[in-house]
Every structure is written in C-alpha cells, then in structure tokens.
Amino acid sequence: MSWKGSTLISFILFFFVVYTTSYGEVSDTKQHLKNSLVFAISQGTATLKDVEELERMGVDFVVRGISCGWYANPKDMFERSKAVEKALEEAYKRNILWSAMITSSAIIPDILPERDVSLYADRDAFGNVIKPASWWQGCLNNPRFANFVKDIARAAIDAKIWGIHYDESYGHWFWSYPMPCFCDYCIKGFAEWLQKEKPPILDKLGIRNLKGFNYREFLAERKIQDRPWESPLAEEYWRFLLYSTLEKEREIVEDSKRYCRTKWGKELIANANQYDMVNLSAVVLGESSIYDFINIGWGLPFLPHQSSYIPSYLASKACGYDKPVVMFLDIQEEPPAFSALPLESKGQLFRWLAGEAYASGCFYALHHRFSLWAGPVEELSKIGQFIKANPHLFRDTRPLADVYLLYSFASNIYDMFPKYWGRKGAPDHSKYYNILGNMLLDCGVQFAGLFFGEGRTFPDDVATCEKGAFRKLSPKDFPFIIVPSAYALSERNIKMLIDYAQAGGKLILLGDCGSRDEAYRERKGEIWDKISKRKNVIWLKACPWEKPALLLEMVLDSLKKLGWSPQIIEWSPQPITHKILRVGKGKIIIHILNKQFEEGKGFKTVQNLKISLKLPSGFKSSPEVFCYSPDWGTSPKSIQAIFKGDEMFLTLPSFDVWLLIEVEEAK
C-alpha cells in the first residue's frame, strides 16, 4: 500500500473515531443497559430542556420516544429522527440512551409506497381486509410489510438512533379483542406449518395431502369463517400464528441490529411494547426471548388499595432472568386516578409504582412525558435521585423466598385463546397465578416466580430470576412449589415436577395440572399417580378459583401441613402493607409498601409499625438497622432491632409509601 493510501485510510479511520466518539458518552450501549438503574418514558417532545429534566430525574435509559414513528414511512422516520438530533446528541453526552419508537403495526394508505393498504393488511377468514380502528394492521407474515418495518427501523438508525421501541409488532390479532389474520401469506404459511408439524388431528380429519391446502377454504366448507375458533384446527392455527409472528419479529430485530452494527459499530438496544404478562397473550411473553429487555406497557388497571402488580413482575423476572424488566405507563392522557390527586399525592402514587417494581427486582420507567400527559418532574426526581444515591439497595439482590409459584408458558399460550376467542369458562392459568399471587402477597408469604418454558420459544425447561435457566428442581433450592392450574405442561415439565417430588420436594398441585401438552393435546392416564400419595405432595383437585378466600385458606393449610411458616409478620390486627424480602451479599433488604391509599386524596401515613422477621439460618444480624425512603430524601435513618430467639423485631419510622430496611450481617 502506498504512503498516500495508508494516510488516507488513517485519516478516514481517525475521522470515523472522532465522529462517533464525539457524538456522545453512551459508547457501549449493552453495558449501558446493564448498568442502568433509572428508566423513563419520554415521548412527545425532545428538546434540550427535556434532556435537562431527564438528567435531573437521574435517568439512564428512556424506553421510548425521542422520535416517533406513528404513521410514518422510512422517509418520515428519518426526518423526524434528524429533527431531534440536538436533543439526542445532548442525551448521549449526558449518558442517557433515549429510544425512538416505531409503531410497526399500524398502517394507513398515506405512508405506503403504493398507497394501498390491501397489499399489507391483516385479512379475516373470508379474505376481507380487516380495519380494526382508524388504521389498518399489517401482517408480519407478508414480506412486503415485514420489509417495510425493517426499512423504518433502518431509517431511524441512519439518524443515529441506538435504541428502538417496536410498538406492537405482533399486530392487532393478539390484542384484547383478537382478530387473527387469514391473509394469503398466513394461509400458505399454515399449510407449510402443518406439513412440518404433522399434528395427529390431520389423520382424524382425513387430510393426507397438504399440497394446495387452503385453510380459508377449509373454514368456508364448514361455514365457520365467522367463528374460526370452532374449527378442529383452531389450536393448531393459533400456534402457527404465535410462532410465525415471533419468528418474524426476531428477523426484523436482528436485521436492525446487524444494520446498526455495520453502520455505526454500535449494538442497537431493542425493546417492545409488551404488556402485563399474566393478563395478556403468549406473544408478548414470547417477545421476552427476542428483545434486550422486557418492557411492559401498562394502563394502571388498579390502585394500591385494590391490588398489586408484584406477582406479575415476579413472573416476568423469572422469565427474563438475564434481562432488565421495566414497566411504563402506556397512557397518553393523565388518568383520573392521577388527575384527581394533589401534586404531592401524585408523587406518592409514582413512588408506589416505583416501589412495586424495584421490590420485585424490576424497574419502573418514570413518566416524564407521553403525548398529553407530562409527569411532575420534581416529584419524579425524588425517586430517581433516591435510587441513584442508594444503588446498594437495588443491585445484586434476589428474592428471599421459600415458596415458588409456577408460571407455565405452555398454558399461557392457550389462556387468551379460549378466553377471548369464543370459548368461555375455560381454565385460565395466567389469571389463577395472579389471583393466588396477590392473595399470598397480602398474607406476607414470600414467593418468587418459577417460569416453565414450553421447549420452543423458551428452550430451557425452567427459569428463576436468581438461578437463571436450568433443568433440575432441587428440594434444597425450592422448598415449596405451588402449581396453579397449569393445565398445559410439556413432558419435560412434568418429569421435572415428578422428580422434584420424588426427591422430597414439597409440591402443591391446584386443580387441573398437565392434562394437556404444550400443543394443547390431551394427555391420557393419571400423570400424577406416581407422586400423588406421597406425604410431601398435596393435590387439591377441586379448586375454588372463583372464591379466592376459600382458595387461600386451602393453600395456606396445605403449606402449613408441609411445614411452612411465615418469615415476616406485621404486628397489627390487619396488615396495612405489602412486605417483600430480598437478599444480597451479607444483607437482607425489606421493602415495605403502604396499601392505605384513598382515591382523590393519597396515602395515609404509616406510623409506629412493628414487624418481626425470622432470620435465615446462619445469618447474624447487626442490631443497628438502616431505613431508607424516597418519602423523606436520600439519607437513611438508623433504628435498633430487638431480638427474641431467631426473630428480629423492628419498630419502623413513619413513612408514606415505600420504606426499605437494610439488615446487615454482623461483622
């Protein structure tokens, strides 16, 4: 190579390095995500003032919004992203990674090159284009639409966006009123799926030749295009849609990541608009296997005195054990529960939202802004600054749980299908998990999620937040396991539970467990015969899910019979808080969350609350204990513990919403 040539290359390299590094401080995006402690949502504007506010709030990562791809084609996306370049650059400089947002599902004619939605959109079983709202929904199985989404993401990356939020790529058919797609691409894909999967139902239906098999015609012959759930192939179609959607989503995300890596030498951080996974469909749970973090968009369905989000967080955290789990409020206008409150109480409600997430080992995205709703920056800063000032309370901690509540993905796949697709009264494992989780939480039972995959989207059988993915359940690590009507379980799932029980693990089976496999095929014979008579196994076959009080009594009786006793007790006639124990190196962190919330007013202060904690064996606590709360600032208050045997008694300082107690091991 000539001198001139090598100098030219050096120059180019030098400028490339200067150009990329001078653009900001966020250099290793993956590491940045790993280190992030404070998240936010900020969508609507992106000015330097916004960056300053985000910095004041201590934000490391914005889950979505610097540029918004709602009704955008690739050109629009590029222009919108370039328009916020100054804010983006400033955010990077201040160590804030601010994701863009692409809707990637909603389409209108104006944004399409052909101005014709019928070339892209979902179709019903009659073959007609579905218009679910004021927009249409593209089908990911249609390569034209998949490529369109890829191009929008690439356009954002061209404008130096290193984080993308894919807003509901899975399309409309998995929403609360599912409208599955039956477009030509789905029909062709389904024939191929059947060819590959060869479900036994094909023999029963006498379908031997799948060449030219057209599912729309199959439905038409039976005159059930308006009720496709009555089809004998309905479950198989549901599975095809689920797995093909996830496959396409993965393809789109990988394309964007490759493009970003090649273009900027950066790892694109991708997230989706998932949802409370104990309430919605398998596709959002499946997305956890694709994106860089689990991002739950939630609509504030209940308030602190009504219910808790913790059971759902614990399921998500078990599933996404190696990824951050974040929740943001996917609400464009200030919801009445907030607008009815005075400013200080709004801050309290935000602290509760944060407390629920962090107590579960997850994160809450501070609501800086979404469309018509801007959060109170000063109040949100109290939370962000508190977390930033006390990272030791949050990093490297795991649940101090003795009970594990099983959450089955195989069952989750079919939960929504019967619930919304015309089959009422069918079992709902996800709902049952949530009901029981909330009841256990109310009683102070320390439980964590135990996630069971189905062997396909989640190839490892089982996962927990502390152990990651593994294949053997040992009674030592899992003292008590409760299976809340997980009606669909894989063969390996069942074997693991049987092995666990045979090794002495204490197992409570509730209702129908494993009567179907992961493909919703009925299992013959009594699967729990081998273990059901063991003293360490209790199978409550008739489970009163519609009467949670009776259910709780039965479950607690069973736990007691198996030798369980509470780890933490509130010494008052009626518990007014939720108590969650976490453990770190040489310390126990107790999160206490006040439940005494009054709509339109706020929280009632907790005063002189006394609790007792049974210390884990071998843990000698120091008598000086530190209490922290964002209610009063960033510094701790010290209190003295009283010991009676292996129990530790604490009288807590007053607090409004969220108190954290750090119990350190005596040196």
Q: Tell me how far apart the alpha carbons of residues 394 and 435 are, in angstroms, rounded to a whole number.
A: 27
Q: How large is the angle between the packed helices 48-56 and 85-93, nearest 10 degrees? A: 30
CB atoms within 10 A of CB 504: 13
The residues in 437-456 that bind other proteins, with binding defined as CB under 8 A, are 439, 442-444
Which residues 131-160 are close enough to bind other proteins by CB under 8 A? 133-134
What's the min distance (Å) between Cβ of 425 and other proteins? 5
Q: Which of 86, 553, 561, 640 binds other proteins (CB under 8 A)?
A: 553
> Rounded to a whole number, what is the distance in angstroms from the first to the last CA of the chain?
65
Of 99 and 567, the one with the shorter C-beta distance to other proteins is: 567
Quick one: which segment of 243-251, 289-297, 334-342, 406-414 binds other proteins (CB under 8 A)?
A: 334-342
Q: Which residues of 160-176 are buried (b: 16+ CB within 10 A; e: fewer)?
A: bbbbbbbbbbbbbbbbe
Q: What is the largest CA-CA distance in the chain?
A: 86
Residue 220 sits in the site that holds other proteins (CB under 8 A): no
**For the chain, how big is the Rg over CA atoms in Å?**
26
Dihedral angle over CA of 590, 595, 597, 602, nearest 10: 0
CA distance 650 to 374: 39
Return the number of the residue (155 or 401) whose C-beta is nearest other proteins.
401
Cα(396)–Cα(585) distance, integer angstroms: 8
d(CA 157, CA 268): 8
Tokens coding 114 = 């052909």
- Subset of residues 485 to 524 that bind other proteins, contact rule: CB under 8 A: none
Which residue in this structure is represented by tokens 């330097």? 48
217 or 553: CB nearest other proteins: 553
> In terms of CB distance, is 475 or 575 closer to other proteins?
575
Our finding on whether 556 is near other proteins (CB under 8 A) is yes
Exactly one of 455, 566, 584, 616 binds other proteins (CB under 8 A); that residue is 566
SS3 assignment, position 438: helix
List CB contacts of 56: < 8 A, sequence separation 6 or more.
377, 381, 384
Given a contact cutoff of 8 angstroms between Cβ atoms, the answer to whether 359 and 395 are in contact is no
User: Per CB under 8 A, does 571 bind other proteins?
Assistant: yes
C-beta closer to other proteins: residue 542 or 549: 549
Provide the minimum distance between the beta carbon of 635 and other proteins in the complex, in angstroms, as a whole number. 30
Which of the ranges 187-195, 378-386, 570-578, 616-624 carries the binding residues for other proteins, by CB under 8 A?
570-578
How near is the Cβ of 102 to other proteins at its closest, in Å? 22
Taking the C-alpha atoms of residue 8 and residue 4, their distance in angstroms, rounded to an integer, is 6
What character string, x for contact with other proteins (CB under 8 A) and - otherwise, covers 591-630? Answer: --------xxx----------x------------------
Q: Which residue of 200, 206, 425, 525 would you call a contact of other proteins, by CB under 8 A? A: 425
Contact with other proteins (CB under 8 A) among 339, 605, 635, 640: 339
Q: How far is the CB of 134 from other proteins (least distance, A)?
A: 7
Phi, psi of 443 (to 5 degrees): -90, 0
Of the candidates 109, 265, 301, 586, which one interacts with other proteins according to CB under 8 A? 301
For residues 363-402, which are near other proteins according to CB under 8 A? none
**Other C-beta atoms within 10 Å of 262: how many?**
10
Total residues contacting other proteins by CB under 8 A comes to 44
Instruction: State the CB neighbour count (10 A cutoff) for residue 211.
Output: 6
DSSP 323: S
CB 169 within 8 A of CB 104: yes
Q: Give the angle 55-104-262 at the CA atoms, nearest 5°.
A: 70
To other proteins, the closest distance from the beta carbon of 153 in angstroms equals 27
- Site string (172-211) toward other proteins, x via CB under 8 A: ----xx----------------------------------
Specify the pairing of strand 468-470 against strand 462-464.
antiparallel
- Closest approach of Cβ 305 to other proteins, in Å? 11
Per the document, the length of the chain is 667
Nearest approach in angstroms of CB 344 to other proteins is 15
Q: How far is the CB of 477 from other proteins (least distance, A)?
A: 25
Q: Pick the closer one to other proteins by CB: 33 or 130.
A: 130
302 contributes a contact to other proteins by CB under 8 A: yes
In the complex with other proteins, the residue whose CB is nearer, 541 or 547, is: 547
Q: What angle do CA 42, 46, 47 make, to 5 degrees?
A: 130
CB atoms near residue 305 (< 10 Å): 14
Our CB check for other proteins shows the closer of 18 and 372 to be 372
Of the two residues 93 and 431, which places its CB atom closer to other proteins in the complex?
Answer: 431
d(CA 190, CA 420): 22
b/e code 55-67 from CB counts within 10 Å (16+ = b): bebbbbbbbbbbb
Tell me the closest approach of the beta carbon of residue 279 to other proteins, in angstroms.
14
Q: Which is nearer to other proteins, 565 or 617 (CB)?
A: 565
Residue 50 CB, nearest approach to other proteins (Å): 26
Q: Closest approach of Cβ 645 to other proteins, in Å?
A: 5
Give the Cα separation of 657 and 577 in Å (integer).
9
User: Residue 390 or residue 430: which is nearer to other proteins going by CB?
Assistant: 430
Residue 547 engages other proteins in binding (rule: CB under 8 A)? yes
Q: Which of 574, 607, 617, 638 binds other proteins (CB under 8 A)?
A: 574
What letter does residue 606 receive in the DSSP assignment?
A: B
Q: Where on the chain is the footprint of other proteins (CB under 8 A)? A: 133-134, 176-177, 301-303, 306, 333, 335-337, 339-340, 424-425, 439, 442-444, 546-550, 552-553, 556, 565-566, 569-575, 599-601, 612, 644-645, 647
